[in-house]
Chains A and B, each alone.
Chain A
Amino acid sequence: MTAHILAIDDSRTIRTLLTVALEKAGFAVTTAEDGVEGVAKFQDAKVDLVITDVNMPNKDGFGVINDIRNGAVNRAVPVLVLTTESGTALKDRARKAGATGWIVKPFDDEALVSVIKRLTGA
């Protein structure tokens, strides 16, 4: 079964890059351009993994994770945080918020796909 990835990023370019890389690797991808849209789409669809940017309008990535972890459906879904910062402070914050892992932008397609395959069992 095709794993379904929800990619949330306010940058059109990053959304495109994620979509291209993931679809090529055989995933189904849904995108959302901010946290609010992301959480709404998460609730509407059966999602196997969420990738979210941190800094976004309306609701940031930590807010997204918080909503998912405290939500009604699919609370244990793996959530990857997409960040430009490689510092440990951010990772700690992501971890506290309930993130499963993190991907540092700019991401390497292969590395991204291998992490996602591992987390979705695909």
Chain B
Amino acid sequence: MTDSAILDAFFEECEDLLVALSDGLEDMRDGKADSETVNAVFRSVHSIKGAAGAFSLEDLVGFAHIFETVLDEVRANRLATDDGLLRVLQRAGDILADLVDAARDDLPADRDQVDPVLKELESFLSADDLAEEEFVFEALTLDFDAPQDTTRYLVSFCPNKEFYATGNDPALIITALQELGQCEIAVDATSLPDELTSFDWDEGYLTWEISIDGQQSDLPIREIFQFVDDLCALQITEVHSSGDAFEEIIPASETEVVPPTAVIEPVQDVLATEAPPAKADRPVKKSASTLRVDPERVDRLINAVGELIINQSVISQRIDEAALPNSADLHGDLDDYKLLAREIQEGVMAIRAQPVKPLFQRMLRIAREAADATGKDVNLVTEGEATEVDKIVVERLADPLTHMIRNAIDHGIELPEVRVKSGKSAAGTLRLTASQRSGSIVIEIIDDGAGLNRDRIREIAVSKGLIPADAQLSEQEIDHLLFAPGFSTAKEVTNLSGRGVGMDVVKTAITALGGRITISSFAGQGTTFSITLPLTLAVMDGMIIHIGGQTMVVPISSILESIRPVPADLSQIGLHSHLLRIRGEFVPIVDLAQRLGIEPRATELTDRVLLLIQTESVAQCALAVDDILDQRQVVVKSMQGSYGEISGVSGATILGDGKIALIIDPDAITAAPPPETIGQRQTIKDVAHAAP
């Protein structure tokens, strides 16, 4: 493993640790200041510091150290976790994340940001805490380039009980000494008790006398006794004249050279029989083993699976054309093949699926900063953090969500005093939720603020020339003006949410992911933004339809049912508009051919097929098509690179016969006004649905 790979692993680990830190701090803010929570927070910071030290990331280590010291005080109950402290800890968490980012990008720390928080942290510490803060690496360096003058050393070494109890082995120490130079070793066993009954198995009765030749200093010798100098009687003396001192201390008769290991074995054996086996406190937690894969490999796999699915539809088509008898096994085999292809596709997509949790965690910080900047009191509540979304979606949602959270706090949630006046709690609640609903991922941002000020929105839209002053707009249409390009400019928004992007950019980002965004708002109760995203990006279930001699695809996820209407189901309103009566309710009929400006095969609705469609913007409507052909998985290919965004068309796919079919965006198609009403409403259409 290369150093940079380890460094990458470190930053990945930091991500996890920062999430754990943020989780823990949230818990503490919610009043869970139990020792396990505080410990987990401490550990996160501690681990970052420990690992960062290995890479000499000084800024990170320095900050983490002070942060950790404060947390240690909290852990020891010497600091009370009041609001003030928690606020500083959360800021510190944010700064730590920044420092990790800076280290990753190899940028210097932003001292203007770091230092104030560092000061605040230090204000919680006593002078003593700060004094012992030096964080030094005790390098064990040996100086081998010293003068060539060599001396002889005499080492007298008598390990005590504790020496043996802490995993030390005199044999190894003696071996290490032997590596320094020529040794003469003698053991003094005179302290051994005479009676075996008074023998303490754990006691150290033996003293070794070792003389080592050819040493330049006693440092390497002391080095060997580094961990044990307090666990033995140790004397290291310099002897100039070789031999004499050694002989004097231990008379030759009592000197016996023993292989050092002989002493150790009995100690171990006795220890083994003495104590009952200790049991592990808890069953071992199975660590979730993960596999790290280059995303490019997964992308290649996804592309290959896409091709596989296209290939599968080609084969289907060929088999149909061959008009084999129904009894042919081939049909069953083909079904198996389809099933397997789908399983592979789902499996591959699952590789890229990631929980939205890290994304939501980032929003906690955004919300905190936005609340601080606007003087509002906001609780961001996240739900459905475990919902899994394609990695790309998670990445690309970050900016739109950031913008929307800021907007919701800046424009949606009222100032505490205003809220109290209108009978609400002083603190606003912003809910960020993710859930999976019938093949889609729905992300909602729900505030309990004042709701959209529709008069104001209308006013702005008129002043910007987005709509004529006398335009007749439904509430929903007014709400959707927010997404119109050019609606928000830096002048209208405060310095917080206005970063040169408007909600139109948000909408564009969501649309680029094949998703939709809708608003619902109630005066005084708040606003909800719903983002609906496809579960998978590359492949979707489509209904293959015919319209005006062309083959197109309608996403199955938006089709409720298909109907072949009888005259009694239909009623006409106006010259060209029809309603479908279904189960006692009327839904408008939208002619797909008319919307696309092509000629339908049949003019009578009774000769055609209606697809009952559920959309976000118009509750339900019936989409008139010429015929339905098949239902199958299609591989979505974006057309944006070549054609830009085309209203009503979300992409294209390649069918089994090799032809290209457009994929209809039911939401845009049904919401677009019918051509004959174009005029006054033209601008609304442009505003709400045209491409930027």
Determine the distance from Cα of A105 to Cα of B10 in the docked complex, in whole angstroms: 15
Contacts of A78 in B (CB 8 A): 167-169
Q: How many A-B contacts at CB < 8 Å in the complex? A: 153
Q: Are B280 and A101 in contact, with the CB atoms below 8 A?
A: no
How many chain A residues touch the partner (CB < 8 A)?
55
Q: A71 contacts B277, CB within 8 Å?
A: yes
Of residues 206 through 251 on chain B, the ones whose CB sits less than 8 Å from some CB of chain A are 224, 226-227, 230-231
B274-305 Cβ-contact flags toward A at 8 Å (1 or 0): 01111011111101000000000000000000
Please give me the residue from chain B that is nearest to A100 by CB atom: B167
In the assembled complex, the Cα of A121 lies from the Cα of B259 at a distance in Å of 14
User: In whole angstroms, what is the CA distance A115 to B230 when docked?
Assistant: 17
Q: Does B618 contact A (CB under 8 A)?
A: no
Report the Cα distance A70→B554, complex, angstroms.
69
CB atoms of B138 and A86 under 8 A apart: yes
Of all chain B residues, the one with the shortest Cβ separation from A19 is: B1
Interface size class for chain B? Answer: 35 or more
Q: How far apart sit A92 and B227, CA to CA, in the bound complex (Å)?
A: 11
| Chain A hits for B268, CB < 8 A | 74-76
Within 8 Å CB of B139, what residues of A? 108, 111
**Contact A57 B40, beta carbon cutoff 8 Å:** yes
Mark out the residues of chain A between 32 and 64 whose CB falls within 8 Å of any chain B CB in the assembled complex: 33-34, 36-37, 39-40, 43, 53, 55-59, 63
B171 part of interface (Cβ distance < 8 Å): yes
B140 at the interface (CB under 8 A from A): yes
Contact of A40 among B39, B271, B276, B284 (CB under 8 A): B284
A48 to B162, CA, bound (A): 19
B residues near A10, Cβ cutoff 8 Å: 43, 47
Given the known A-B contacts A13-B51, A58-B285, A106-B137, are A40 and B13 also in contact in the complex, defined by CB atoms under 8 Å?
no
- Taking a contact as CB atoms under 8 Å apart, the answer to whether B167 and A104 are in contact is no
Tell me if B140 and A111 are in contact (CB < 8 A): yes
A58 and B88 alpha carbons, distance in the complex (Å): 28
Whether A11 lies near B280 (C-beta < 8 A) is no
- B51 close to A14 (CB less than 8 A): yes
B399 to chain A, nearest CB (A): 29
**A72 is contacted by which of B136, B164, B272 (Cβ under 8 Å)?**
B272
Known: A73-B272, A76-B271. A20 touches B6 (CB 8 A): yes
Contact B280 A13 (CB under 8 A): no
Check B166 against A99 for contact (C-beta < 8 Å): yes
In the complex, residue of chain A having the shortest beta-carbon distance to the beta carbon of B10: A13
Q: Which of B9, B55, B171, B284 contacts A12 (CB 8 A)?
A: B9
Distance of A12 Cα from B168 Cα, bound (Å): 28
Instruction: Assess the A36–B1 pair: CB atoms within 8 A.
Output: no
**What's the Cα separation between A75 and B267 when bound, in Å?**
10
B53 interface residue, CB < 8 Å from A?
yes
Residues of A whose CB lies within 8 Å of any CB of B are 10-14, 16-17, 20, 33-34, 36-37, 39-40, 43, 53, 55-59, 63, 67, 69-79, 84, 86-87, 95, 98-102, 104-108, 111, 114-115, 118-121
A-B residue pairs, 8 tightest by C-beta: A72-B277, A101-B227, A106-B53, A13-B51, A111-B140, A100-B167, A78-B167, A13-B10
11 further A-B contacts with Cβ under 8 Å, apart from A12-B12, A76-B271, A121-B172, are A10-B43, A14-B47, A17-B54, A53-B50, A63-B281, A69-B165, A75-B275, A76-B264, A106-B53, A118-B173, A119-B168
